C-alpha cells in the first residue's frame, strides 16, 4: 500500500479476543512494511489463545502446538497483549475509539445452540461447551460439578467434532489422559466415572455426519472403550448413496467406510462402549428431578428445495434411558456491548469483515472489523481462520489508505496504559502470561504431566502478585 489517508500519528489497531482469528489478523497487519502498524490485543481472560487453550481437547496436543506460532507473533516489537480486560465492561468501544484507528472483533462463539425441546434444562442435561470448558480448565467453567460417579449411560447429541471430543474424553482411561493438560479436577472426576455406555446421536445419516476422518478413526483406537455401530446405522439409504456418488465427497465416503469397519469389528470386550446411532432426533428429555431418559424420533431423509438432504420424523419413537446428556449441536456467538449483532446467526453483521450497521444493510461502521467465528459462524478448523482474518485485515488496510477509519485522539502507548491502569490495574501483559505458562509447565513436569493449568482468574493473579481490585469505571 502507498499511503495512509493523511493520518500523521502512529497507526494503532486493537484486536478484541486472542484466539486463532485474532492472532492471524495481528500477524497480517504486523507484516506490513508500509504503514507500520501497532497491534494491541485485548483479552477477557488473563490467558491468551482462546479455544486453542479452552476448547481443543487435552489429548490433541499436536493441534495445541500452534500456540508456538502465536507466541512468535506476540514477540513482535509492535505487538502488545492486555489480558484480564473485558470489552464492554473494563473498556468500551468508545474508549478504544479514542486510541485506535481500527477495532477488530475476534471474540469467537462463546455459548451453545439450544435444541428447543422439553426437559432440556433438567439437571444432568449440559451443553457440550460447558463440559469442554470444564475439562480444559476454563475459569468460566471451573465451578461446574460433573459428577460421573453413578452415571452409567450418557448421550451426546450431534455428530460434529465437538461430539467426538466429548465422547472420546468420556471413553479415555485416566492413564490415557494423565500426561495431558486436562484440568486436574476433571482428571479426578473422570477417574471416578462409572460411565459404561456413551450414545452418540446423529439426526441425519452416516454420510451427513459433520465429524472428520481422523476424529471418527480415533474413536476406534481407545484403550478400553469399544466403538459399536449397528449394520443398519452404517448403511446408506438410497438418497445418500446417490448423493455421495454424485458429490464425490471423499471425506464423507471415508467416514462411511470407517463406520462400516466398526460394524465388522463389533465388540472386543473392552469395559466401555461408544454406540453410534444415526437418523434419530431427541424430541423430549424426561426425568423427575434429573435426566432419566430421552424420547427419540426415528428419522428419514428427504431432498429439500435447495438440494440438501434433511431429516424428517417417520412417526416412530423409542425411549432411551440415560443418566446424563451433552448437547453438541454447535456453538453460538454472543453480542458485544455497542456493537451490531445479527441474532439469528449469532454473528456480527459484516461485509468481508467490515462491520455493518445491520444484517443485509450496506452501511459500514467505519473502523470496525470482525474475524473468525463471530464473523462467519462456528465452522471450520483452526487454519480456516487464517484466510478469513487476512480478508478482514486487507479491508482495514484499504480503509487506512483511503482515510476511512476511526479518528483517535491519542494513540500513544503511554496514554493507553494510563487508561488501563485507571480501569483495571491487574491487567496482564504477554510477559505476565509467559510467567504463568512457565509455572504451569513446571507444575506439570514435577508430576509427569505436560502442564497443570491454573483454572481460576484469582489463582493466576495471585501467582503474579497482582490485585483483583477494579478501580475507576468505564465511561
Ligand atoms: P458442527 O460441526 O456444526 O456439528 C454440529 C452437529 O450437531 C451436526 O452433526 C449437526 O447435524 C448437529 N445438530 C445441529 N442441530 C441439531 C439438532 N437440532 N438436533 C440434532 N442434531 C443437531 O459443530 P461442532 O461439533 O460444535 O464443531 C464446531 C466447529 O469446530 C466445526 O467446524 C468443527 O469441525 C470444529 N472442531 C474441530 C475439531 C478438530 O479439528 N479436531 C475439534 C472440535 C471442533 P446436521 O449436520 O444435521 O445439522
Helix axes 20-30, 385-402, angle to 10 degrees: 40
397 lines ligand 1 (CB under 6 A): no
Residue 12 placed within a domain: yes
User: How many A from CA of 164 to the centre of ligand 1?
Assistant: 9
Give residue 472's pLDDT. Answer: 47
Give residue 291's pLDDT. Answer: 98
Domain identity same for 220 and 362: no
d(CA 396, CA 367): 7
User: How many A from CA of 165 to the centre of ligand 1?
Assistant: 11
pLDDT tens column, 50-100: 999 999 999 999 999 999 999 999 999 999 999 999 999 999 999 999 999
297 lines ligand 1 (CB under 6 A): no
Residue 367 placed within a domain: yes
d(CA 260, CA 14): 49
Domain identity same for 345 and 391: yes
Domain stop point among 284, 310, 331: 331
Domain stop point among 316, 331, 346: 331
Residue 475 placed within a domain: no
Question: Which of 157, 330, 332 to mutate to test ligand 1, by most ligand atoms within 8 A of the CB atom?
Answer: 330
Residue 473 placed within a domain: no
Domain identity same for 182 and 270: yes
Question: Which of 210, 216, 310, 327 to mutate to test ligand 1, by most ligand atoms within 8 A of the CB atom?
Answer: 210
Domain identity same for 225 and 198: yes
108 lines ligand 1 (CB under 6 A): no
Domain stop point among 331, 355, 373: 331
Residue 211 placed within a domain: yes
Closest CA to 20 of 378, 444, 350, 351: 378
Give residue 473's pLDDT. Answer: 44
Domain identity same for 174 and 304: yes
| Ligand 1 atom at minimum distance from 162 CA | 25
Q: Report the 10 Å Cβ neighbour count for 353.
A: 25
CATH of the domain at 298: 3.50.50.60
215 lines ligand 1 (CB under 6 A): yes
Domain identity same for 124 and 86: no
Give residue 252's pLDDT. Answer: 95
pLDDT tens track of the chain, all 475 residues? 434 666 777 899 999 999 999 999 999 999 999 899 999 999 999 999 999 999 999 999 999 999 999 999 999 999 999 999 999 999 999 999 999 999 999 999 988 999 999 999 999 999 999 999 999 999 999 999 999 999 999 999 999 999 999 999 999 999 999 999 999 999 999 999 999 999 999 999 999 999 999 999 999 999 999 999 999 999 999 999 998 888 888 999 999 999 999 999 999 999 999 999 999 999 999 999 999 999 999 999 999 999 899 999 999 999 999 999 999 999 999 999 999 999 999 999 999 999 999 998 889 999 999 999 999 999 999 999 999 999 999 999 999 999 999 999 999 999 999 999 999 999 999 999 999 999 999 999 999 999 999 999 999 999 999 965 544 444 4
Domain housing 304: 112-331
Give residue 361's pLDDT. Answer: 82
pLDDT tens column, 200-236: 999 999 999 999 999 999 999 999 999 999 999 999 9
d(CA 276, CA 147): 24
463 burial (CB, 10 Å; 0-12 / 13-18 / 19+) is middle
Domain identity same for 248 and 346: no
Which residues make Cβ contacts (< 8 Å) with residue 341, sequence separation at least 6?
333, 335, 347, 348, 349
Residue 470 placed within a domain: no
| Ligand 1 atom at minimum distance from 128 CA | 26
379 lines ligand 1 (CB under 6 A): yes
Give residue 303's pLDDT. Answer: 93
Task: Tell me which residue has its CA closest to atom 4 in ligand 1.
Answer: 160
Closest CA to 166 of 198, 141, 196: 198
44 lines ligand 1 (CB under 6 A): no
157 lines ligand 1 (CB under 6 A): yes
Domain identity same for 203 and 302: yes
Give residue 5's pLDDT. Answer: 66
Domain identity same for 219 and 316: yes
All 3 cell numbers of residue 131? 463440559
CATH of the domain at 345: 3.40.50.720
Question: Which of 21, 64, 113, 162 to mutate to test ligand 1, by most ligand atoms within 8 A of the CB atom?
Answer: 162
370 lines ligand 1 (CB under 6 A): no
Residue 472 placed within a domain: no
378 lines ligand 1 (CB under 6 A): yes
291 burial (CB, 10 Å; 0-12 / 13-18 / 19+) is buried
208 lines ligand 1 (CB under 6 A): yes
Task: Tell me which residue has its CA closest to atom 9 in ligand 1.
Answer: 159
Residue 192 placed within a domain: yes
User: How many A from CA of 166 to the centre of ligand 1?
Assistant: 12
52 lines ligand 1 (CB under 6 A): no
pLDDT tens column, 361-409: 889 999 999 999 999 999 999 999 999 999 999 999 999 999 999 999 9
Domain identity same for 27 and 121: no
Give residue 16's pLDDT. Answer: 98
Q: How many domains does the chain have?
A: 2
Task: Quote the pTM value.
Answer: 0.95
Give residue 469's pLDDT. Answer: 54
Task: Tell me which residue has its CA closest to atom 7 in ligand 1.
Answer: 329
Domain identity same for 99 and 135: no
210 lines ligand 1 (CB under 6 A): yes
Domain identity same for 106 and 123: no
Amino acid at each position: 500500500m502507498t499511503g495512509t489517508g493523511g493520518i500523521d500519528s502512529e497507526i494503532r489497531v486493537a484486536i478484541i479476543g486472542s484466539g486463532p482469528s485474532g492472532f492471524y489478523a495481528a500477524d497480517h497487519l504486523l507484516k506490513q512494511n508500509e504503514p507500520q502498524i501497532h497491534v494491541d490485543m485485548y483479552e477477557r481472560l488473563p490467558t491468551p489463545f482462546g479455544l486453542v487453550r479452552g476448547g481443543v481437547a487435552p489429548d490433541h496436543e499436536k493441534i495445541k502446538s500452534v500456540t508456538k506460532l502465536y507466541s512468535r507473533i506476540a514477540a513482535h516489537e509492535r505487538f502488545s497483549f492486555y489480558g484480564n480486560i473485558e470489552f464492554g465492561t473494563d473498556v468500551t468501544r468508545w474508549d478504544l475509539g479514542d486510541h485506535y484507528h481500527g477495532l477488530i472483533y475476534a471474540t469467537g462463539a462463546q455459548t451453545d445452540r439450544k435444541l428447543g425441546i422439553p426437559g432440556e434444562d433438567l439437571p444432568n442435561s449440559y451443553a457440550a461447551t460447558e463440559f469442554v470448558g470444564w475439562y480444559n480448565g476454563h475459569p468460566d467453567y471451573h465451578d461446574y460439578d460433573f459428577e460421573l460417579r453413578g452415571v452409567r449411560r450418557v448421550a451426546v447429541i450431534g455428530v460434529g467434532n465437538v461430539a467426538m471430543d466429548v465422547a472420546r474424553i468420556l471413553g479415555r482411561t485416566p492413564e490415557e489422559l494423565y500426561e495431558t493438560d486436562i484440568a486436574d479436577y476433571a482428571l479426578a472426576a473422570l477417574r471416578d466415572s462409572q460411565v459404561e455406555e456413551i450414545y452418540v446421536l446423529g439426526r441425519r445419516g452416516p454420510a451427513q455426519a459433520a465429524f472428520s476422518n481422523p476424529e471418527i478413526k480415533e474413536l476406534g483406537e481407545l484403550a478400553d472403550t469399544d466403538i459399536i455401530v449397528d449394520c443398519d446405522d452404517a448403511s446408506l439409504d438410497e438418497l445418500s448413496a446417490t448423493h455421495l456418488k454424485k458429490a464425490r465427497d471423499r471425506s464423507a465416503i471415508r467416514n462411511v467406510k470407517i463406520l462400516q469397519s466398526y460394524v465388522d469389528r463389533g465388540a472386543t470386550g473392552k469395559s466401555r462402549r461408544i454406540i453410534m446411532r444415526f437418523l434419530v432426533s431427541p424430541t423430549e428429555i424426561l426425568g423427575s428431578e434429573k435426566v432419566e431418559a430421552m424420547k427419540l424420533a426415528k428419522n428419514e431423509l428427504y431432498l429439500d428445495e435447495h438440494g440438501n438432504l434433511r431429516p424428517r420424523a417417520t412417526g416412530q419413537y423409542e425411549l432411551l434411558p440415560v443418566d446424563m446428556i451433552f448437547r453438541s449441536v454447535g456453538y453460538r456467538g454472543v453480542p458485544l456491548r455497542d456493537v451490531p449483532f445479527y441474532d439469528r446467526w449469532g454473528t456480527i453483521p459484516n461485509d468481508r469483515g467490515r462491520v455493518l450497521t445491520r444484517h443485509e444493510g450496506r452501511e459500514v461502521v467505519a473502523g470496525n472489523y470482525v474475524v473468525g467465528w463471530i464473523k462467519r459462524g462456528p465452522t471450520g478448523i483452526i487454519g480456516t481462520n487464517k484466510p478469513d482474518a487476512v480478508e478482514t485485515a486487507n479491508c482495514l488496510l484499504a480503509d487506512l489508505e483511503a482515510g476511512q477509519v476511526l479518528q483517535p485522539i491519542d494513540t500513544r502507548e503511554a496514554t493507553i496504559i494510563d487508561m488501563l491502569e485507571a480501569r483495571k490495574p491487574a491487567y496482564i501483559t504477554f510477559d505476565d502470561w509467559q510467567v504463568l505458562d512457565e509455572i504451569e509447565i513446571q507444575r506439570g513436569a514435577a508430576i509427569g504431566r505436560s502442564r497443570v493449568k491454573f483454572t481460576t482468574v484469582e489463582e493466576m493473579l495471585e501467582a503474579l502478585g497482582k490485585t483483583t481490585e477494579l478501580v475507576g469505571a468505564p465511561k
